[in-house]
Every structure is written in C-alpha cells, then in structure tokens.
Amino acid sequence: MLLSDKGGMNLAKTGQKFKQQCDRFFETAEKPLCCIFCEGTKIYWNGQRERTASVLIGDEVVHLTDILCKRVKCANPECKKSWTLRPSGLMPRRHFQLCVVANATSKFLFDPQATLTLVANAHRCCRRTVGRWLDWIAGIAAPADLVRRLLNVSKDAVSTTAFKVSEILQKAASTAKKIFERTAKNLCILEALGMAQGYQPPGFRGVVEAAISNRDRVTTYRCPVIPELAQ
C-alpha cells in the first residue's frame, strides 16, 4: 500500500509499530513450560515461520508481511504435536485479525446503508469472506450462553445491551435472517462483556483473544464453537 499523505504516513507508522511489537515478541519469547495439548513438560524449539496479517489501524486495513513467529514441539512420544507462539493480537490460522472481522461485520449489520460489496471493498477482502465472518461469529456460542457469562460479570451490563436487529432483517434473505440476527446478538453481548471485563474495544476481539489465549486449532470455520464461550 502506497502512503504519501500525512494521514497515510501516520497509518504506516502505526502499522509498523504493531510489526515491531511482533518482532520483539519473537526475540524474547520463552519456551512454554508444558504442552498445550497433553500438558507434557518436555518442549523443544521447532524452527520458525513467517506470517502475514491484515490489521485495522484507525479506520483503514493495513497488510503486514514477514511477521516471524517461533515454533515449539512436544517431546512426548505419544503427542509430538507442534504449535506456533504468537504475540497478542495475532490469531491462529487467520490472516484478517479480529479487529478487522469485528469492524467489518458490525459495519454490515448495524449500518443500514452498508452492503456486502461496500464492506468487503473497504476491508480489502471479498464478499464471501465477510459472509464467512458472519457465519463464524454466529457459531462461536449461543447468545443465551454469552448472556449467562455476562451475568456472572455484571448484571447491570445486560440491561444496557441492545439488540439492533430490526434493520438487519430488511437486508437479509429469508435463509440468512436467523444467522444475521444471531451474529448481531453475539456482537452486542460480546461488546458488553468486553467492557465489563475491562478489555479495549472491540469487545469481540478482547473476549475471544482471552478465551483462546495462545492455544491453536480453535477458530476454524469448520468447527467454529469456542468451548470457553459456549459453556
């Protein structure tokens, strides 16, 4: 992305700051004390990998390359699984980070003028990608389960959580109405839950990152449910 104006230069500087945070994590990351799969205590370094990521800087999506991440592997003969150590804000198996996902889906659902095409163009992805994000957020947990989690944190936050779904249903085909409504509810509840727990907005990003921590293989579209949120 070519950035020539003052705003663009600030955007590039902020994006570079995120990249530098990732670089520092790569340089200072220590070996985990146990395996995330079997809890075995014998771990060894297993090389490195390069990542790319699109992150939201201000209102713009910035594409970053050459993000180095260390790999580790379990020495347990019955496990031998490996995984990647990731800095905060860099999710597993996901190029578009949660800040982008939250912004795009919220824009589509809560802006009456927004369309899949407009949102996709603004976030440098395709229409089908935005559609997958909507399905994924709908599937990570049932709204009722998230409300129960919110009640455990703050009963006051539940009364102020608004489900703005009336205009959502006008832009949805009959087959998509239930998905859109559930996605909107999940986003609203997660925003309230994030605020109640003191996470930086968007709440969706803060709550999901905290639930996943540094584990792997829990955010695929094939199996969207995040057990820590669905309980």
Tokens encoding 182: 């559930």
pLDDT reported for residue 49: 92
Residues of the chain with pLDDT under 50: 1-9, 11
Domain borders along the chain are 6-84, 98-230
Distance, CA of 153 to CA of 67 (rounded, Å) = 35
Per the CB < 8 A criterion, the answer to whether 201 and 184 are in contact is no
Which amino acid does the sequence have at 39?
E
pLDDT reported for residue 43: 96
pLDDT reported for residue 17: 81
Looking at the DSSP bridge assignments, the partners of residue 62 are 55
pLDDT reported for residue 48: 94
Which amino acid does the sequence have at 87?
P
Tokens encoding 225: 């449910």
pLDDT reported for residue 154: 77
- To 5 degrees, how large is the angle CA 99–CA 114–CA 63? 35
pLDDT reported for residue 210: 86
pLDDT reported for residue 168: 57
Distance, CA of 20 to CA of 23 (rounded, Å) = 5
Distance, CA of 101 to CA of 173 (rounded, Å) = 22
Its pTM stands at 0.83
Distance, CA of 99 to CA of 14 (rounded, Å) = 15
Q: What is the largest CA-CA distance in the chain?
A: 56
C-alpha torsion 77→81→87→89, nearest 10: -150
| Peptide bond between residue 87 and the one before it cis (omega within 30 degrees of 0) | no
pLDDT reported for residue 34: 92
Neighbours of 147 (CB within 10 A): 17
**Which residues in the chain belong to E strands, given as ranges?**
43-57, 60-74, 82-84
Size (the chain), residues: 231
